[in-house]
A and B are shown apart, each in its own frame.
Chain A
Amino acid sequence: MTIGDVLIIGGGLHGCSAALHLARRGLKPVILERDWPGRHASGVNAGGVRTLLRDPAEIPLALAARRMWHAIGELVDDDCGYKTVGQVAIAENDAEYDRLKARAGTVRQLGFDHEELIDRAALRSMVPSLARHCVGGLAVREDGFASPYHTSLAFRRKALALGARLFEGAEAERIDRVGENWRIEAGARTFEAPVLVNAAGAWAGEWAARLGDTVSFRHILPMMMVSERVPPLVEPVVIASGRPLSLKQMPNGTVIMGGGYLGFGDLRTGRNRTDFNGLQKSAATVAELFPALRGARIVRSWAGFEGRMADDIPVIGPSAAAPDAFHAFGFSGHGFQLAPIVGRILADLIATGETDLPIRPFSANRFAA
């Protein structure tokens, strides 16, 4: 039997980030990972580090995470491929522009000033290769992107260096409360600790249910595709505001396209597939917005398992039903950026019972009513 202070189900970024922050506080976390860290959402996502267009509830966390991204080397001794290149949501017509303008107003009223409304000329100078019909946008120049797999490994490595233990190929199957402890069986192995963290990504809904929490959750498979290397064409991350699209060009020249269309997957086997009926739509959008990319060749597409809540914001914090159990899941397609801060929040909650960030909107019992 392996005994620790905290058992973490899931070795994705959120599991590893929680482990890292717990270990910094001197606790002994044990991570159980059914495959390997970065195999699922954390390693295959689009790498967008975005505070732009966040749900108002997420803004304080996203801004706190952004400060950590800007100094990510201090946290994990690795640059994670992070680049501050800005992110911009584009308006393709006046109606979309008006919506972005209204959004900018709302955010300012909440007391935040990170989102900047930009006009046609400013948009053009930010993204010269963008189709001419775009009328303006909403930008955050301090946003950027990182390399997802690289980041997953960096968090894993740092957590382990600080004393966390990781069991790969260890799928948590059974959970029991034994005295004051949680006991998990994974294959032939048994693990015990007084505290549990559910960071099981697309599989987390099941664990929440087992702990007695009623949440509105489902798993989804966002898809991505990538081109061969092409000459420099677009610097910031570009997202469309009226239809699904996110697009960025990596330093090596490849262009990563995705945002919104979903593939297929089987939670049990962990296998998944893309759907070219959806990728066609993404490609059509890319071709319209970046005419110069029509000739770029797509060499790969993929999908990743992700958890999605009905209200599109995650569950972060204690279980409403079980003692000494904490959740971090349901990031609904935008949890990569939040990983550095959410791990810290969990470590704060576990070590001290409180945190300095407003997490009430993310409570596990918000769906119960």
Chain B
Amino acid sequence: MWKPPTVIANTTRGRTTEETRRQYMSEHEISVTVNGERHELAVEPRTLLVTALRDELGYTGANVGCETGRCGTCTVAVNGETIKSCTRLAVQTDGAEIETVEGLADDGDLTPLQESFQEHHGLQCGYCTPGMLLSADALLATNDDPTREEIREAIEGNLCRCTGYQNIVDAIEATADRLGERR
């Protein structure tokens, strides 16, 4: 039956991550504003923006599906421009205004786009969803009456393995219609 495992390596037990990292890292101080809130943080030169957002600042809404700019799950807006945050270094965004999925809903009230994703079943596992929402928002900001083809093109860089995209397209199209009616 089971015996407790033998410890076979000496470990540096008890050190906090903060203490250890200072010993061997050169770090840069940067400041970013995320969803309206300003943060000062120290990052290694090679730290990706997505890593800084997730691991340093706790904005875990943006996901990492590939780290090579191919899946779009890490999509955020930097100074109003939608980018894949795995393709940008954190130090490059010093002073930037960043918007993530956490900043979309206002005090728990979903945006029309978020509501529409729920109504049209535009998400299943939800892993692609934060990126999809940001890409769709960027489309709707510049095109208030997109065709289905234009919608598909706008989310071409965001992969979804669950939905087959159709309900996502429906959700975005319905949002455009709804915003159109309000105008």
Physical interaction between A and B: no
Q: Which residues of B contact A (CB under 8 A)?
A: none
Could you tell me which A residues sit within 8 Å of B by CB distance? none
